[in-house]
C-alpha cells in the first residue's frame, strides 16, 4: 500500500477522505504534504500556526495513525513510511489542534484496548514501581551523562522569569512567557543550560525558605543536584530514589563534595518512608506515580511535613479537557519511554492535595522553557552520538530517543502540556 501499485490506487479514495477530514479539523496551521503518488497537498491552513513539511511515503502511515494513534505514527516513522525535515512543528500542530482532531492521535478499537491493558500491567504498585523506574533510569549513568548538563538534571531548566499559571482548569490556555524578557541573553546557547538548571533548583529551594539545620525530604532525588544545593544552604537532606544507578552517582558526588554527613540517599519507595521534615521537594517525580497513586503520593507528603511545613513540586500537566482520553489509552511515551507514566490533571491533583490539608500556593508555569530544554538536550544527544560517547546503543535506539525529544518539544510548543512549580503548605 505504498501508492505506487494497484492496492494503493484502489485505496486512494479512502485515504483522500481521511485527508479531507484532517483538512477540516486543523483549526490552526497546516501541513505541506507530499503524498505517496508524488502529488502535493496543503492540509489545513484555516488560521495561522505551525506549517510542517511532511513526506508521506506510504499510505500505511495513515492506517497506523488512524488505528494506533501516536504509537502507530511512531512505528510509521521508524519504518520510513513518513518523514519530515523537522517533525517538531508537526507535533506542535497536532497538540494545538488536539480538541478539533478529536482523538486522531489516540488508538481505537482493539488497538486502544491492547495499549490500555499493557499500560495497566505497568501500574506503579509498590512491586512494579522499581521495575518501571529501572526500565528508564537504569539505562546507565554513562548514557545520561553523555548529553545532560554537568549537574545531571533531567527535568525542565528555567531560562526566564516564571509567569503566573492562571486559574487552574478555567479559561483559555495561558500564554506563557509572551513579552517577558529572558533572564539569559540567548535561550538557545548551549552554555545557558547548566545555569538555567541551577536557576530551576534555586527556585524550588527558595519556595521552601530553608534555614540552616532544617530537615528536607526529596522524593525522587535523581542524581543528587538538588540535595547538594540544599546541603550547601545548610539543610540536612534525605533523598529517595528507586534507581540503583542514580543512587550510586549521587553518593559519589556527595562524597566528593564532603557533604556525606548532611545527605542520605535511600533506595526506598515514598510509600514506605517514615519521618518528619521541615520541607519536602519533588521535581518531576509525580509523572512516574500514576493517577491511582496520586492520593498515596500526596498523603506521603502531608505525613512527612510538620505543621506549617512546605513542599515544593515541579510537575508536568496536560490540558484537563484532554486528560480522560489521554489516560484511557497508552500513548507513544508510555509505550516506549516511560512505562507507568502519566501526566497530571492539575485540577484533580490540586483537589486531592487540598483534601489532605495541603494548601496550593503560587503556581507558576514555564512550558516554553521545557521546549528550549528539550531542544538543547537533542542537540547535545546528537553531538554525543557523533562523538562516539553513546556507541553502546543501536541506531534504532538513538532514533527512538531523538523522536521522543522532538515529540515532547512539540507538545510543549503546542501548549497542550505544561510544566509548573507550586508550593504546598501543610495546615
pLDDT tens digits for range 416-426: 999 999 999 99
CA-wise closest residue to 307 among 213, 425, 166, 394: 425
Q: Which residues contact 120 (CB under 8 A, 6 or more apart)?
A: none
pLDDT at 173: 30
Residue 287 to residues 3, 212, 403: CA-CA distances in angstroms?
41, 30, 20
Confidence band for 106, pLDDT divided at 50, 70 and 90: low
pLDDT value for 126: 67
Return d(Cα 202, Cα 204) in angstroms, integer.
5
Sheet strand arrangement including 30-34: 40-44, 30-34, 53-56, 82-83
Contact between 233 and 212 (Cβ < 8 Å): yes
Residue 9 pLDDT level (bands cut at 50, 70, 90): low
The model's pLDDT over 207-224, given as tens digits with 9 standing for 90+, comes to: 999 999 999 999 999 999
Predicted confidence at residue 40, as pLDDT, reads: 97
Give the N- to C-terminal CA distance of the chain in Å, as an integer. 62
| Res 171 pLDDT > 90 | no
Q: How far is it, in rounded angstroms, from Cα 177 to Cα 163? A: 6
C-alpha cell at 128: 512494579
Select the CATH number that applies to the domain covering 121-426 from these four: 3.40.50.300, 3.40.50.150, 3.40.640.10, 3.40.50.2000: 3.40.50.150
Average pLDDT over residues 107-136: 55
Strand pairing of 417-426 and 305-318? antiparallel
Residue 256 is predicted with a pLDDT of 98
- In this prediction, residue 177 has a pLDDT band, given cuts at 50, 70 and 90, of very low
Percentage of the chain lying above the pLDDT 90 cut: 75
- pLDDT at 197 exceeding the cut of 50: yes
Exposed e or buried b for every residue in 379-411, given b needs 16+ CB within 10 A? ebbeebbeeeebeeeeeeeeebbebbbbbbbbb
- Domain positions in the chain are 6-105, 121-426
Model confidence over 350-378: pLDDT tens digits? 999 999 999 999 999 999 999 999 999 99
Amino acid at each position: 500500500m505504498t501508492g505506487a501499485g494497484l492496492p494503493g490506487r484502489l485505496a486512494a479514495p479512502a485515504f483522500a477522505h481521511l485527508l479531507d477530514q484532517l483538512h477540516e479539523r486543523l483549526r490552526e496551521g497546516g501541513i505541506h504534504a507530499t503524498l505517496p503518488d508524488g502529488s502535493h497537498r496543503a492540509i489545513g491552513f484555516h488560521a495561522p500556526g505551525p506549517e510542517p513539511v511532511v513526506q508521506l511515503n506510504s499510505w500505511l502511515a495513515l492506517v497506523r495513525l488512524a488505528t494506533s494513534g501516536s504509537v502507530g505514527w511512531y512505528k510509521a516513522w521508524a519504518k520510513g513510511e513518513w518523514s519530515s525535515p523537522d517533525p517538531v512543528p508537526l507535533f506542535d500542530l497536532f497538540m494545538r489542534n488536539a480538541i478539533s482532531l478529536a482523538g486522531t492521535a489516540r488508538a481505537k478499537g482493539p488497538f486502544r484496548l491492547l495499549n490500555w491493558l499493557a499500560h495497566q500491567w505497568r501500574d506503579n504498585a509498590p512491586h512494579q514501581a522499581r521495575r518501571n523506574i529501572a526500565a528508564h533510569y537504569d539505562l546507565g549513568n554513562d548514557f545520561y551523562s553523555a548529553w545532560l548538563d554537568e549537574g545531571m538534571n533531567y527535568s525542565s531548566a528555567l531560562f526566564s522569569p516564571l509567569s503566573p499559571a492562571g486559574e487552574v482548569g478555567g479559561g483559555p490556555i495561558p500564554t506563557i512567557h509572551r513579552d517577558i524578557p529572558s533572564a539569559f541573553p540567548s535561550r538557545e546557547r548551549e552554555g545557558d543550560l547548566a545555569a538555567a538548571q541551577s536557576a530551576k533548583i534555586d527556585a524550588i529551594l527558595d519556595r521552601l525558605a530553608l534555614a540552616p539545620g532544617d530537615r528536607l525530604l526529596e522524593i525522587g532525588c535523581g542524581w543528587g543536584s538538588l540535595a547538594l544545593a540544599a546541603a550547601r544552604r545548610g539543610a540536612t537532606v534525605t533523598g529517595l530514589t528507586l534507581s540503583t544507578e542514580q543512587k550510586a552517582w549521587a553518593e559519589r558526588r556527595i562524597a566528593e563534595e564532603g557533604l556525606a554527613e548532611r545527605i542520605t540517599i535511600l533506595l526506598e519507595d515514598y510509600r514506605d518512608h517514615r519521618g518528619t521534615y521541615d520541607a519536602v521537594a519533588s521535581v518531576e517525580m509525580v509523572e512516574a506515580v500514576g493517577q491511582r497513586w496520586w492520593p498515596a503520593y500526596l498523603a506521603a507528603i502531608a505525613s512527612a511535613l510538620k505543621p506549617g511545613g512546605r513542599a515544593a513540586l515541579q510537575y508536568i500537566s496536560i490540558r484537563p479537557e484532554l486528560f480522560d482520553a489521554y489516560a484511557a489509552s497508552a500513548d507513544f511515551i508510555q509505550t516506549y519511554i516511560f512505562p507507568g507514566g502519566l501526566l497530571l490533571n492539575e485540577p484533580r491533583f490540586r483537589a486531592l492535595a487540598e483534601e489532605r490539608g495541603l494548601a496550593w500556593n503560587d503556581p507558576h508555569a514555564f512550558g516554553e522553557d521545557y521546549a528550549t530544554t528539550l531542544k538543547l538536550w537533542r542537540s547535545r544527544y546528537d553531538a554525543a552520538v557523533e562523538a562516539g560517547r553513546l556507541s553502546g546503543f543501536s541506531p534504532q535506539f538513538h532514533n527512538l530517543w531523538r523522536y521522543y525529544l522532538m515529540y515532547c518539544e512539540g507538545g510543549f510548543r503546542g501548549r497542550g502540556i505544561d510544566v509548573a512549580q507550586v508550593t504546598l503548605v501543610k495546615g
